[in-house]
A = this chain, B = another copy of it.
Amino acid sequence: MTTDAIDLLLVLDLIGVSVFAASGALLAMQRGFDLVGLLALGSVTALGGGVLRDLIINQGLPDAFSSPVPVITATSASLATVALRTTLHRWRRTFLVFDAAGLGLFSVTGAQIAVDAGLGTIPAALLGVLTATGGGVIRDVLGGEPPQIFRPDSRLYAIPAAIGASIMVIWSATNLPEEIGATTGAVLVFAIRVAALRFGWRAPSPGAQGK
| Chain A residues engaging chain B, CB cutoff 8 angstroms | 28-38, 40-41, 51, 55-58, 60-62, 64-68, 71-72, 82, 85-86, 119-123, 126-127, 133, 137, 141-144, 146-147, 149-152, 154, 156-159, 202-208, 210-211
Contact = CB atoms under 8 A, between A and B. Distances in A.
Contact of A35 (B36, B143, B203): B203
B119 A151 contact: no
6 nearest A-B residue pairs (beta carbon): A29-B207, A85-B210, A68-B122, A34-B203, A37-B150, A32-B152
Q: Classify the interface of chain A: helix, strand, loop or mixed.
A: helix
Copies of this chain held together in the complex: 3
Given A150-B142, A158-B40, A65 B32 contact: no
B85 A38 contact: no
A118 to B, nearest CB: 8
Contacts of A157: 36
Contacts of A122: 68, 71-72
A82 B209 CA distance: 10
Contacts of A64: 123
Given A144-B146, A150-B142, A65 B126 contact: yes
B152 A31 contact: yes
A203 B64 CA distance: 25
A133 B122 CA distance: 26
9 contacts: A29-B206, A31-B207, A40-B150, A51-B56, A55-B56, A65-B123, A65-B127, A68-B121, A137-B142
